[in-house]
Amino acid sequence: MTDIALTTTTAAHEDAIVKIVLDSLTSANSRRAYERALRDFLAWYAEAGRPGLAKATVQSYKAKLQADGLSASSVNLKLSAVRKLAAEAADNGLLEQALANGIGKVKGVKSAGVRSGNWLTKEQAQKLLNLPDTATVKGLRDRAILAVMLGCGLRRSEVASLTYQHIAQRDGRWAIVDLVGKGLRVRTVPVPSWVKAALDAWTAAASAAEGYLDAPQAGRVFRSIRRGDHLDGAQMTDQAIADVVRVYGDALGVELAAHDLRRTFAKLAHRADGRLDQIQLTLGHASIKTTERYLGVAQDLADAPGDHIGLRLA
């Protein structure tokens, strides 16, 4: 058994190989990212003369990525996709297991420090929330999108897939229930009253624009809007949500990605004395370490939690 499938590839072969990898992934975001990474690798592989899929080949690709000046996170994502390719190829009899094992040992690039991303201050977040023109249906929709991201910490994919069935009362308050997030983890997200007010305003405007007296009880919360403030009924994509954030970020004078609003939620909640474990549960992080990286939390030995408990010896 050899890596014939990767040494004599045609476009059809490569599409089949990429499909094997993508079919093994559950997240739509991961599938998109891995497909781009694999297409990049296969293009480089062809230019290199298809030297054979082995550890040395992947190490050469890693060196090329670093020479191109890619960030550690970008290099690691591309390498992760190639390692996944090798593992799936071996499982499907397209590559010797020994070669796949060698590729699996190619290490990623260490990040220098902690990635900060963009965090908005409370003042900037408030200005961002006030930017949409609420005299229009589109403005009410966009304000509700920003509110859900800033007040609930949802990912852009979660905002795009949010339905009215998700929004319900729990323990005397509104919440987004049974939300399926990254890694298929299910969580319930508390909805602040101001976020619910933004959602209600958008829902009422959308219902009136469509000629309905009652608010919808089913279907996607956020939908596309055509020129002239007309709803077209189509659900918004992840990219459409990201575009909304980018447009208002530009208006604010900040280069803003959708995930930066998730970071902002976490940072502002923590600064307002929100409990770390509750922030973790709201974000849906599998590990508290991930939440700590979002917040840039470092252990403070000079002012430790135990110093504030209030106990003392008799």
In DSSP notation, 56-118 reads HHHHHHHHHHHHTT--HHHHHHHHHHHHHHHHHHHHTTSS-HHHHHHHHT---PPPSS-----
Q: Is 232 helix (H, G, I), strand (E, B) or coil?
A: strand
Residue ranges in the chain whose pLDDT is less than 70: 1-13, 111-117, 213-215, 296-314
pLDDT tens figures, 3-28: 545 555 556 667 788 888 998 887 77
Residue 44 lies in a domain: yes
Residue 314 domain-assigned (yes or no): no
Instruction: Note whether residue 247 is domain-resident.
Output: yes
Within a domain: 172: yes
Q: Could you tell me if 51 and 172 lie in one domain?
A: no
Residues 178 and 254 in one domain: yes
pTM over 0.85: no
Q: Are residues 48 and 171 in the same domain?
A: no
- For residue 8, the model assigns a pLDDT of 52
**Domain assignment present for 84:** yes
The domain in which residue 14 lies consists of 4-104
Same domain (yes/no): 169, 251: yes
Residue 305: per-residue pLDDT: 61
* Residues β-bridged to residue 163: 220
For the chain, the maximum distance between any two Cα atoms, rounded to a whole number of angstroms, is: 80
pLDDT of residue 304: 56
Asked if residue 88 belongs to a domain, the reply is yes
Residue 158 sits in the same domain as residue 283: yes
Q: Which of 45, 43, 30 is nearest to 81 (CA)?
A: 30
Answer yes or no: do 140 and 244 share one domain: yes
CB neighbour burial string for 131-160, b if at least 16 within 10 angstroms, e if fewer: bbebeebbbbbbbbbbbbbbbbbbbbbbbb
Whether 111 maps to a domain, the answer reads no
- In a domain? residue 43: yes
Please indicate, yes or no, whether residues 67 and 206 belong to a single structural domain of this protein.
no
Q: How many domains are there within the chain?
A: 2
Q: What is the pLDDT of residue 286?
A: 80
